[in-house]
């Protein structure tokens, strides 16, 4: 039986606890009441049972609003056509990357959070997508554009905005501050009150907001309310780990940052049950895991370490690093899960591989990706040096070969990468350019002079339809096989995001793990040949129960002799199941 809904007094009490920690000098009772007023018209509801938050049928597509364009239609309508025509039977949720007016970083320097970029469409198109798919939207919460009205007001010394931005003194101890960029942290800015130095974690066009001011928090709660009204049901808290700043610290993952997330969780759980929070924290694995909190922060966290480790394994044929990592991953707490992805609008983050891959292994990965047309972005370290921050490359092109060079197994290697991702504990997420086997966009890099443009291609709708309609096209071949496997996955309860997972230890070069449905009625042995050679698998290594009938859900092959050896072709994957 589901617990009864809270009343507003219970929500008020919870808010007072959050506020008392975040703003000890504020009147917690009054500020909590102000937060409740933001959600005036929303009433506390019955919480959604945990088993209804997600299922094996869930799969996410990540896309920009204008990843597919048609001169005769606004991009969000073209996106809707693509979704309904090609992926409606394969994905349940869509992450439309920042769709607000912006000034840089392809949407992550937001000018106005309350509007949809008119070049994409309007709220009508956003709401239409949300009616057919679970819609995920970004809350770019750490910073906003220097062209925003808030920042213009900051410069003028008027509200709203006069006290919205993080300032620092030149003499402050900022030596430990963690940065994802090599640009100067502080931006000198002339204001009505004289020269000020504002904090810019990412770029000088992306000015950091000051959440020490509760008015900033209230503004973002108003944005969340607006998005809920427009049908958004999944919120991606972008770069949230940087949120709270305190000179003399790393300014990463501070306790106040976690408390802000808890406060947001309190209001969304109360007023919009079923709403999911996803924290975007591209950091080493042990830091990332803290964002589950005590099941009171993120419902979902990105599995950032998967991409670099999986790519390393497929390019080298070595599985020990991938196995070691997956064995160390704890099952997600009840009511929580992982978001598994191998590519996104950003590059392949290398920070999550720190401590997992040696410097030599990382360097080999960098050199290999460069040979396949990729690029590399760096970050500034506390001692003034630089380290690799991310690899910028189309994932499909990253699979052109191995550390030995190019070969003929690009499609098979790529399909293997996506099949591994689909089988793991958590919800799989496909970047649109992985689904479409899009190549490196070197022309985009030349145009923007930004490395990340290499994986942000804009498809012509007519050209895409032509490619997907051509059975000989590599785009069609990859797309059809991926969506086929996605649909197979959705029919197997052992792929529930919280189904049991256990790492297997077959001989090299196999990577294998076992999934079992929550009711224990179904088992699936996920086995992957991580090399360009034909490999012999001993079925006896899997300990298949003799009373069950086993077959490969991907190919349909039956396994009547559980002691035999079978051949796996280069990069072949098996989903061996008992039903």
Question: pLDDT tens for residues 250-262?
Answer: 999 999 999 999 9
pLDDT in tens, 490-502: 999 999 999 999 9
Could you tell me how far CA 484 lies from the centroid of its own chain?
23
**Selection from 183, 188, 294, 302 nearest residue 236 by Cα:** 302
Number of domains in the chain: 2
528 in a known ligand binding site? no
Helix (H), strand (E) at residue 355: none
Could you tell me how far CA 210 lies from the centroid of its own chain?
25
Q: Mean pLDDT, to the nearest integer, of 513-524? A: 96
Check whether 2 has a pLDDT greater than 60. Answer: no
DSSP assignment of 461-483 equals: HHHHHHHHT-TTSHHHHHHHHHH
User: Using alpha carbons only, what angle is made at residue 53 by residues 48 and 55, rounded to the nearest 5 degrees?
Assistant: 145
- Tokens encoding 430: 């496909």
Q: Mean pLDDT, to the nearest integer, of 138-147? A: 98
295/423 Cα distance (integer angstroms): 24
Q: Does residue 532 fall inside a structural domain?
A: yes
**Selection from 63, 59, 141 nearest residue 344 by Cα:** 63
379 in a known ligand binding site? no
Q: Does residue 475 fall inside a structural domain?
A: no
572/511 Cα distance (integer angstroms): 11
Asked which of 156, 189, 208 is the last residue of a domain, the reply is 208
Q: What is the pLDDT of residue 3?
A: 61
143 in a known ligand binding site? yes
Q: Mean pLDDT, to the nearest integer, of 472-476? A: 98
Q: Which residues are catalytic?
A: 238
236 in a known ligand binding site? yes
pLDDT in tens, 88-99: 999 999 999 999
Residues with Cβ within 8 Å of residue 298, at least 6 apart in sequence = 237, 261, 265, 277, 278, 279, 291, 292, 336
64/44 Cα distance (integer angstroms): 33
- Tokens encoding 304: 């950032």
Q: Does residue 538 fall inside a structural domain?
A: yes
pLDDT in tens, 357-374: 998 999 999 999 999 999
Q: What is the pLDDT of residue 48?
A: 87
Q: What is the pLDDT of residue 543?
A: 84
What CATH number does the domain containing 175 carry?
3.90.400.10
pLDDT in tens, 395-411: 999 999 999 999 999 99
Q: Does residue 31 fall inside a structural domain?
A: no
82/504 Cα distance (integer angstroms): 39
Cβ neighbour number for residue 560 with a 10 Å cutoff: 8
331/500 Cα distance (integer angstroms): 8
Q: What is the pLDDT of residue 201?
A: 96
Q: What is the pLDDT of residue 180?
A: 82
On the CB side of 272, how many CA atoms lie within 13 Å of its CA?
A: 23
What sections of 351-438 are H helices per DSSP? 359-371, 395-398, 410-423, 432-435
Check whether 383 has a pLDDT greater than 80. Answer: no
Peptide bond into 425 cis (omega under 30): no
DSSP assignment of 324-337 equals: HHHHHPPPPPTT-E
Peptide bond into 509 cis (omega under 30): yes
* Dihedral angle sign, alpha carbons of residues 240, 242, 245, 251: positive
What average pLDDT does the structure give for the chain? 95
Check whether 436 has a pLDDT greater than 90. Answer: yes
Asked which of 192, 208, 224 is the last residue of a domain, the reply is 208
Check whether 382 has a pLDDT greater than 70. Answer: no
576/579 Cα distance (integer angstroms): 9
- Tokens encoding 311: 């790519």
Number of H helices, E strands in the chain: 17, 28
Q: Does residue 180 fall inside a structural domain?
A: yes
Q: Give buried/exposed letters for 290-319 (b at 16+ CB in 10 A, else e).
A: bbbbeeebbbbbbbbbbbbbbbbbbbbbbb
- DSSP classification of residue 209: B
26/33 Cα distance (integer angstroms): 12
Q: What is the pLDDT of residue 357?
A: 92
Query: Using CB atoms within 10 A of its CB, is residue 163 exposed (0-12), middle (13-18) or buried (19+)?
Result: middle
Q: Give buried/exposed letters for 71-109 (b at 16+ CB in 10 A, else e).
A: eeebbbbbbbebbeebbeebbbbbbbbbbbbbbbbbbbb
Please answer whether residues 174 and 247 qualify as being in contact, where contact means their C-beta atoms are separated by less than 8 angstroms: yes
452 in a known ligand binding site? yes
**Selection from 428, 481, 480, 431 nearest residue 452 by Cα:** 431
From 45-49, 115-119, 134-138, 543-547, the region with the lowest mean pLDDT: 543-547
**Selection from 503, 526, 402, 388 nearest residue 451 by Cα:** 388
577/572 Cα distance (integer angstroms): 16
51 in a known ligand binding site? no
Q: Does residue 480 fall inside a structural domain?
A: no
253 in a known ligand binding site? no
105 in a known ligand binding site? yes
What CATH number does the domain containing 535 carry?
2.60.40.1180
Q: Does residue 152 fall inside a structural domain?
A: yes
Q: Does residue 84 fall inside a structural domain?
A: no
Domain that holds residue 178: 143-208
Asked which of 208, 225, 253 is the last residue of a domain, the reply is 208
Please answer whether residues 125 and 219 qualify as being in contact, where contact means their C-beta atoms are separated by less than 8 angstroms: no
Q: What is the pLDDT of residue 130?
A: 98
* Dihedral angle sign, alpha carbons of residues 196, 202, 206, 211: negative
Q: Mean pLDDT, to the nearest integer, of 227-240? A: 98
Please answer whether residues 160 and 219 qualify as being in contact, where contact means their C-beta atoms are separated by less than 8 angstroms: yes
218/211 Cα distance (integer angstroms): 10
What Cα–Cα distance (Å) separates residue 230 from each residue in 233, 276, 442? 9, 15, 36
Check whether 182 has a pLDDT greater than 80. Answer: no
559/578 Cα distance (integer angstroms): 10
DSSP assignment of 258-292 equals: HHHHHHHHHHHHHHSTT-EEEE---S-HHHHGGGG
Please answer whether residues 113 and 222 qualify as being in contact, where contact means their C-beta atoms are separated by less than 8 angstroms: no
């Amino acid at each position: 039986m589901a617990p009864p809904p809270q009343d507003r007094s219970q929500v008020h009490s919870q808010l007072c606890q959050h506020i008392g920690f975040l703003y000890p000098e504020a009147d917690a009772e009054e500020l909590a009441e102000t937060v409740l007023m933001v959600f005036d018209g929303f009433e506390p509801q019955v919480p959604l049972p945990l088993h209804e938050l997600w299922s094996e049928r869930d799969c996410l597509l990540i896309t920009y609003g204008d990843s597919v364009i048609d001169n005769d239609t606004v991009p969000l309508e073209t996106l809707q056509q693509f979704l309904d025509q090609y992926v409606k039977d394969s994905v349940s949720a869509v992450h439309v990357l920042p769709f607000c007016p912006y000034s840089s970083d392809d949407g992550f320097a937001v000018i106005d959070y309350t509007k949809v970029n008119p070049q994409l469409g309007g709220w009508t198109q956003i709401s239409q997508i949300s009616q057919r798919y679970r819609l995920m939207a970004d809350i770019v919460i750490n910073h906003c554009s220097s062209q925003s009205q808030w920042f213009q007001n900051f410069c003028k010394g008027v509200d709203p905005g006069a006290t919205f931005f993080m300032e620092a003194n030149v003499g402050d101890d900022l030596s430990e501050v963690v940065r994802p960029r090599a640009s100067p942290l502080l931006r000198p800015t002339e204001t009505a009150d004289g020269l000020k130095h504002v904090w810019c974690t990412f770029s000088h066009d992306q000015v950091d907001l000051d959440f020490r001011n509760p008015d900033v928090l209230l503004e973002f709660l108003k944005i969340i309310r607006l998005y809920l009204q427009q049908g958004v049901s999944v919120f991606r808290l972008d770069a949230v780990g940087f949120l709270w700043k305190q000179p003399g610290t790393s300014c990463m993952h501070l306790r106040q940052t976690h408390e802000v997330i808890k406060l947001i969780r309190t209001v969304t759980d109360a007023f919009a049950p079923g709403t999911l929070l996803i924290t975007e924290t591209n950091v080493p694995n042990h830091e990332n895991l803290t964002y589950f909190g005590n099941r009171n922060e993120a419902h979902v966290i990105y599995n950032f370490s998967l991409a670099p480790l999986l790519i390393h394994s497929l390019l080298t044929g070595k599985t020990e690093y991938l196995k070691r990592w997956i064995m160390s991953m704890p099952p997600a707490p009840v009511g929580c899960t992982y978001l598994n992805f191998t590519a996104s609008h950003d590059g392949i983050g290398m920070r999550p591989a720190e401590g997992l891959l040696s410097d030599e292994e990382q360097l080999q990965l960098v050199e290999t990706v460069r040979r396949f047309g990729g690029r590399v972005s760096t970050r500034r370290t506390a001692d003034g040096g630089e380290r690799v921050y991310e690899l910028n490359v189309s994932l499909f092109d990253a699979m052109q070969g191995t550390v030995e060079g190019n070969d003929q197994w690009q499609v098979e290697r790529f399909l293997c990468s996506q099949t591994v991702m689909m089988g793991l504990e958590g919800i799989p997420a496909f970047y649109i350019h992985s689904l479409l086997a899009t190549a490196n966009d070197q022309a985009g890099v030349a145009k923007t002079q930004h490395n990340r443009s290499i994986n942000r291609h804009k498809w012509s709708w007519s050209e895409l339809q032509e490619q997907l309609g051509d059975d000989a096209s590599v785009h069609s071949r990859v797309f059809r096989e991926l969506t086929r496997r996605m649909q197979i996955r959705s029919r197997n309860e052992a792929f529930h995001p919280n189904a049991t997972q256990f790492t297997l230890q077959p001989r090299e070069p196999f990577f294998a793990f076992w999934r079992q449905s929550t009711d224990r009625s179904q088992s699936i042995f996920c086995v992957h040949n991580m090399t360009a050679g034909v490999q012999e698998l001993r079925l006896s290594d899997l300990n298949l129960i003799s009373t069950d009938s086993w077959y490969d859900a991907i190919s349909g092959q039956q396994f009547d002799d559980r002691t035999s050896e079978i051949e796996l072709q280069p990069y072949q994957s098996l989903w061996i199941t008992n039903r």
